[in-house]
Amino acid sequence: MSERELRRNLAILPIGTVRELTLLTDRQIRYYEQHQLVNPARGNGGQRRFSLNDIDRLLEIKDFLDAGDSIKDIQEIFAKQHRKAVGKQDSDSALRRSLQKEFAQIGRFSR
């Protein structure tokens, strides 16, 4: 994972900042969390801490709702995106393993 992606995943923003950035209410944010559309980290004392990726996700939810999608539709969209990402990771891992095997065989034959 790149340094940039690591920074985007840092959960440091309190709900008040998220509210200002997204123009969502605390209640809306908690509702999306309750429906597992966003999963903020928890800080000391249990307060929610959001990352920049969480902000992007909330803005994406807002766009889907503005386009007329329901919460169930959005859950299905995110589930499909997740399955696609997992499948890509699996195929990348399989390709990496295959290349490692080939390089190991090449190493054995070159001796």
pLDDT tier at 51 (50, 70, 90 boundaries)? very high
Q: Report the alpha-carbon distance of residue 107 to residue 25 in Å, rounded.
A: 60
d(CA 32, CA 6): 24
For residues 55 and 3, membership in a common domain is answered with yes
pLDDT at position 110 is 62
**Distance (Å) of CA 20 to CA 1, 10, 29, 33, 107:** 29, 18, 12, 17, 57
5 with 38, same domain: the answer is yes
Indicate if 84 and 64 belong to the same structural domain.
no
pLDDT at 78 over 80: yes
pLDDT of residue 40: 95
**Bigger pLDDT: 87 vs 27:** 27
Examine the domain organization and report whether 1 and 42 are in the same domain. yes
Number of domains in the chain: 2
Domain hosting 14: range is 1-68
Q: Check pLDDT > 60 for residue 80.
A: yes
Task: Please state, rounded to an integer, the average pLDDT across all residues of the chain.
Answer: 89
What's the rounded Cα separation, in Å, for the pair 35 and 106?
51
| For residues 7-31, average pLDDT | 95
